[in-house]
């Protein structure tokens, strides 16, 4: 399946050579123009806020915080892409985040310690697995009602939004549950929940190896089937740029040093934070979800259902069961997001995740997911989450009033989708 | 007029006997029997609501029959889903083409039957490669393998739907109004393709509401009216007007008068 551009079907570039232009360059390199546009928008936002805030936005410290703040929404937005691509919606993610967060918190703060004692090494694993299972079950339950009972997902998850919020409150009668297991807390980042400078470099190097491997195997595959090859200079520059961006980001973030008190625990001196655990989770989730969306049958079916449900049915796809799986997957990702959120707060309250569904949906939509169905990408949604969070953090940094922040985010959401649909119309 | 004797010595590819489908109290298909031989084109014609599409859906698995028997190569077949039909090498090209507009031609061709690598991931390159091969036979000018099919022309989309059927070695092909949405050049292309498939021994059901669209291609013509089979005739034995009389009045050529045939054109 292809989200690639139209001009790459010829086996060989035939006919007169294309005149040089930016468009032609993009076609030769086969870069996703939508994604490139988002990166450009992000750059504008970052640089704009950097100057507006008098040089604080692009500091390692702020970018590090930004990366952690983006995590939970980014994780859940990857699932929302598949939900929206399949012509559904999930309005219940915020409330589900609360109910799962509450369950995980109760397990590790009140229930499990009775048997295992506080800070038993198994507690965080049991709590996390229970949360993931709960997410899958709640999601599948909603998906079942959508697919087999035939209630529109808007209604089912609107009901879920109310029900799960109520359940979250009832579970602890509105109490705040704290503190979390010390290992569990590491999922949320903070001064201990990160991997340090050295490991961050290693992650960066692994990413670079991955980029090179992808480019090499892609080229080998194309040669095997006799498809047109991208010019060597394109492949090499893509590799260099990709690795440069990865290593540059790691290097820059590594300049954010641990506070002295924490550094002293690890032997003192200048110790970099390195990548935060939630950021590692986002990266992992993005990779896995991209793989699911583009490389396996389930993902293909999700897109086919979004494009033409009837055709998917006639092709022999079990469309209903696929819908259940989509919602179950969404539930699992909500559980992951919930774990990050609860760990970061080191507490669970029944008001957790309020309005989160809207941010998650907005991130997916800013990232190019279309409500028509059948269109959307995982990396786009994560970038969308980053754009949203950048706006919010930036406005906090320069001291914009809270109501004005909401207005700005709302306007950006609508404008982003307007621009997107304008270009989409022009493209077809 | 009934099926000619020379078919008796060969086994029919498909035999549908006494098929019935009702929606609520309405008998959309009421005791219809049709058959199809290898290398033959049988046109199933009738006005709107005659039951053509419903009849054929029982064979394609999109809507199982309430009662009746389907024999494939003389053996009783159970077809409850599109999957079942495909297992019997029955491929359907729907009027709507049943393509997912947002994904490309190879992905559509292989939808539900994807080629996979050893580790179970989608093998897109192999699928594109196979698509290029089939398309090279059917429509050599087709080059848009990597764009969503919604950016293709009507004829190109038709080729994708047909390529899907051809690639999976259909023995029995069902085409619902295959040329209704096409221009003259594309229609000629589809006509040529049908001749080619026929020569390869594939049996084809052509569904149409307009006898003019399928008269030239058909070997036999089965006419439906209000859910019932009016009759099946050899094309060589009838004129278009006689078929029209069957479609409109439900009268077999032997029952119609010249006067009635003339009235059709009034």
Q: Looking at residue A19, what is its pLDDT?
A: 58
| Of the partner residues A6, A296, A300, the one whose CB lies closest to the CB of residue B107 | A300
* CB-facing half-sphere around the CA of A165: CA atoms within 13 A: 18
Query: What is the rounded (10 degree) CA torsion for A102, A108, A112, A116?
Result: 180
R_g (Cα) of chain A, nearest Å: 23
Segments in chain B below pLDDT 70:
1-9, 266
Q: Which of B102, B117, B148 to mutate to test the interface with A (most CBs of A within 10 A)?
A: B102
Highest mean pLDDT among A31-45, A66-80, A182-196, B219-233: A66-80
The separation between the first and the last C-alpha atoms of chain B, rounded to the nearest angstrom, is: 27
Is any Cβ of chain B less than 8 angstroms from the Cβ of A14? no
| A-B C-beta contacts closer than 8 Å | 107
Residue with tokens 């980029």: A211
Sign, CA dihedral B247-B249-B250-B256, equals: negative
Evaluated on CA atoms A232, A238, A241, A245, the torsion sign reads negative
* pLDDT for residue B5: 43
Residue B156: its chain A contacts at CB < 8 A?
A: none
CA B248 to chain A, closest CA, distance in angstroms equals: 32
Of A227, A306, A315, nearest to B112 by CB-CB distance is A315
Interval A168-222: pLDDT, tens: 999 989 899 989 999 999 999 888 888 888 999 999 999 999 999 999 988 888 8
Residues making up chain A, counted from first to last: 428
> Looking at the complex, does the CB of residue B133 fall below 8 Å from at least one CB of chain A?
no
Q: What is the pTM of this model?
A: 0.88
Residues of B in contact with A1 (CB under 8 A): 103-104, 107, 122, 124
Q: What is the pLDDT of residue B183?
A: 78
Q: Hey, which residues does B228 pair with through a beta bridge?
A: B225
For A376-388, the pLDDT digits (tens) are 999 999 999 999 9
CB of A221 less than 8 A from some CB of B: yes
Cβ atoms of A237 and A194 within 8 Å: the answer is no
One DSSP character per residue, B95-131 reads TTTT--TTSBHHHHHTTTS--B-TTS-B-HHHHHHHH
Tell me the pLDDT band of A2, cut-offs 50, 70 and 90. very low
Angle between helices A60-85 and A356-366 (to 10 degrees): 80
Buried b (16+ CB within 10 A) or exposed e, A159-176: ebbebbbebbbebbeeee
Going by C-alpha positions, the residue among B34, B67, B30 that lies closest to residue B206 is B34
Smallest Cα distance from B5 to chain A, Å: 37
- Whether B92 and A311 lie within 8 Å, measured CB to CB: no
Place of tokens 């489908």: B21
Mean pLDDT of A52-75: 93
Give the residue-averaged pLDDT of A38-47.
92
Q: Which residues lie closer than 8 Å to A145 by C-beta, 6 or more apart? A: A151, A156
**A384 in Cβ contact with A77 (< 8 Å):** yes
- Report the candidate in A74, A118, A92 with the shortest Cα–Cα distance to residue A336: A74
Q: Do A314 and B94 touch (CB under 8 A)?
A: yes
State how far residue B101 is from chain A, nearest Cα, in angstroms: 5
CB A52 within 8 A of CB A408: no
ipTM of the complex: 0.85
Per-residue pLDDT for A244 more than 60? yes
pLDDT confidence band for A406 (50 / 70 / 90): confident
User: CB distance from A292 to chain B under 8 Å?
Assistant: no
Q: What phi and psi, each to the nearest 5 degrees, are found at residue B29?
A: -130, 125
**B144 CB within 8 Å of a chain A CB:** yes
The answer to whether residue A403 neighbours chain B at the CB level (below 8 Å) is: no
């Amino acid at each position: 399946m292809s989200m690639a551009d139209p001009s790459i079907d010829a086996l060989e570039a035939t006919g007169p050579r294309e005149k040089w232009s930016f468009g032609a360059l993009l076609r030769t390199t086969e870069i996703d123009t939508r994604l490139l546009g988002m990166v450009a928008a992000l750059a504008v936002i970052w640089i704009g806020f950097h100057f507006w805030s008098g040089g604080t936005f692009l500091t390692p410290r702020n970018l590090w915080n930004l990366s952690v703040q983006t995590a939970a929404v980014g994780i859940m937005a990857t699932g929302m892409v598949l939900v929206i691509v399949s012509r559904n919606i999930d309005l219940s993610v915020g409330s589900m985040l609360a109910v799962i967060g509450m369950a995980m918190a109760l397990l590790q703060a009140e229930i499990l310690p009775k048997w295992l004692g506080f800070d038993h090494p198994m507690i965080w694993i049991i709590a996390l697995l229970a949360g993931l299972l709960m997410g899958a079950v709640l999601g599948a339950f909603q998906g079942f009602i959508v697919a087999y009972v035939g209630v529109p997902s808007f209604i089912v998850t609107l009901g879920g939004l109310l029900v799960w919020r109520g359940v979250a409150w009832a579970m602890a009668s509105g109490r705040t549950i704290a503190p979390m297991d010390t290992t569990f807390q590491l999922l949320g980042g903070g001064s201990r929940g990160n991997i340090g400078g050295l490991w961050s470099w290693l992650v960066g190097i692994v990413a670079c190896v991955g980029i090179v491997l992808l480019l090499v195997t892609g080229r080998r595959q194309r040669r095997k089937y006799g498809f047109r090859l991208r010019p060597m200079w394109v492949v090499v520059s893509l590799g260099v740029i990709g690795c440069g961006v990865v290593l540059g980001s790691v290097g820059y973030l590594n300049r954010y040093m641990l506070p002295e008190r924490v550094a002293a625990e690890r032997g003192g001196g200048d110790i970099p934070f390195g990548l935060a655990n939630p950021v590692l989770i986002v990266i992992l989730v993005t990779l896995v979800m991209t793989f699911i969306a583009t490389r396996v049958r389930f993902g293909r079916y999700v897109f086919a259902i979004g494009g033409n449900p009837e055709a998917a049915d006639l092709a022999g796809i079990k469309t209903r069961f696929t819908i259940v799986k989509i919602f179950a997957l969404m539930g699992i990702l909500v559980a992951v997001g919930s774990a990050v959120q609860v760990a970061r707060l080191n507490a669970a309250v029944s008001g957790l995740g309020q309005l989160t569904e809207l941010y998650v949906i907005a991130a997916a939509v800013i990232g190019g997911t279309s409500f028509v169905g059948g269109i959307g990408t995982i990396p786009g949604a994560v970038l969308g989450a980053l754009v949203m969070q950048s706006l919010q953090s930036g406005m906090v940094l320069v001291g914009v009033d809270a109501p004005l922040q909401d207005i700005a985010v709302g306007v950006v959401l609508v404008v982003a989708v307007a621009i997107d649909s304008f270009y989409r119309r022009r493209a077809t | 007029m009934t099926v000619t004797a020379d078919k008796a010595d060969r086994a029919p590819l498909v035999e549908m006997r006494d098929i019935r489908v009702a929606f609520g109290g309405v008998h959309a298909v009421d005791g219809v029997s049709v058959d199809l031989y290898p290398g033959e084109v049988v046109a199933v014609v009738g006005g709107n609501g005659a039951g053509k599409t419903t009849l054929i859906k029982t064979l394609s698995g999109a809507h199982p029959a309430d009662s009746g028997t389907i024999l494939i190569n003389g053996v009783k077949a159970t077809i409850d889903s599109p999957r079942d039909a495909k297992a019997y090498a029955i491929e359907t090209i729907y009027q709507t083409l049943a393509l997912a507009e947002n994904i490309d031609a190879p992905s559509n061709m292989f939808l539900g039957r994807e080629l996979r690598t050893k580790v179970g991931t989608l093998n897109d390159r192999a699928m594109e490669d196979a698509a290029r091969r089939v398309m090279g036979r059917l429509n050599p000018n087709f080059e848009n393998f990597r764009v969503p099919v919604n950016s293709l022309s009507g004829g190109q989309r038709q080729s994708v739907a047909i390529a899907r059927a051809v690639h999976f070695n259909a023995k029995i092909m069902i085409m619902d109004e295959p040329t209704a949405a096409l221009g003259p050049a594309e229609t000629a292309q589809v006509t040529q393709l049908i001749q080619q498939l026929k020569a390869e021994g594939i049996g084809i059901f052509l569904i149409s509401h307009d006898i003019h669209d399928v008269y030239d291609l058909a070997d036999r013509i089965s006419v439906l009216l209000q859910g019932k089979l009016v009759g099946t005739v050899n094309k060589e034995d009838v004129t278009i007007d006689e078929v029209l009389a069957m479609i409109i009045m439900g009268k077999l050529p032997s029952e119609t008068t010249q006067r009635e045939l003339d009235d059709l054109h009034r």
